[in-house]
Amino acid sequence: MQKITVLVSGGGTNLQAIIDAITCGEIKNAKIVQVISSNSKAFSLERARKHGIAAKVIDKETYPDLNDRTDALIFALKEEDTDLVVLAGYMSVLDAKLIQAYEGRIINIHPSLIPKFCGKGFYGKRVHQAVLDAGETQTGATVHFVDEGVDTGEVILQESVPVLNGDTADILAARVLITEHKILIKAIKKLLEEKNLGGK
C-alpha cells in the first residue's frame, strides 16, 4: 500500500479528485494517510474528515518559526510513513530541508503551462488573469516535481486548455481546474506505478 500525504490550503477540489480516484479504484494500491493544511479554515479539512482521513493543521499561527514548522511537517510525513507528498492548492513555501528529505517524491499541480505564468506571485486567479492580459489563446495545467525553486521542478505532465472569447479569470480558472484534476490523477498513477514508491 503506497502512502500519500496531501498538503492543502484551500477548497480542496484537487484533494477531492484524489480521494475519488482512490475510492473508485482508478488509483490502486494507495491510501491518503493524512491531509495537512497551512490554513485552519480550509474546506479541504472538511473533505478529509468526511472520508475518515486524518486532517491536520500546520500553520504559521501554531508554528510562527519556519524551522519549527518544517520540523513539524517532516515529523508528520515520517510518522505516517509517507511515500508521496502531493501539494494540492498548497500556498506555503516548503523549506529546503523538507524538499531534500523527500527529493523526487513531492509533486505540485500548477494552473498554467510551465514555464509560462509561474513562479513567485503566480498563484490562483492571478495566473489566469495574467494569461488573459497576455492575450494567450491557450493555457493549461502542469504537474511537476517540487524542488527548491518556485514552480521550477521537472515537469511530469502537462495538458493544454483553450482560452475562449469572453473568458474571465473565474471562467478560465474553472475550465483549467477540470484539467488539473485529470492530469493530477494521471501523474499520481504514473509515479506510483513507475516508482513503486511504497513497494520497498
Chain residues binding ligand GRF by CB under 6 A are 10-15, 88-89, 109-111, 124, 177, 180
* DSSP E strand boundaries for 21-154: 30-37, 55-57, 84-87, 106-110, 138-145
CA torsion angle 62 66 69 74 (round to 10)? 180
In the block, residue with C-alpha cell 494569461: 131
- Asked about 144 being catalytic, the answer comes back as no
Closest approach of Cβ 64 to ligand GRF, in Å? 24
Are 181 and 14 contacting, i.e. CB atoms less than 8 angstroms apart?
yes
Cell of 21: 480516484
Least distance CB 162 / ligand GRF (angstroms):
17
Under 8 Å between Cβ of 40 and 68: no
- Taking the complex as a whole, the smallest distance from the CB of residue 196 to ligand GRF amounts, in Å, to 26
Please, which residue, 59 or 180, has the CB nearer to ligand GRF?
A: 180
Which CB, 11 or 119, lies closer to ligand GRF?
A: 11
Which C-beta is closer to ligand GRF: that of 20 or that of 71? 20
Show which residues are catalytic. 110
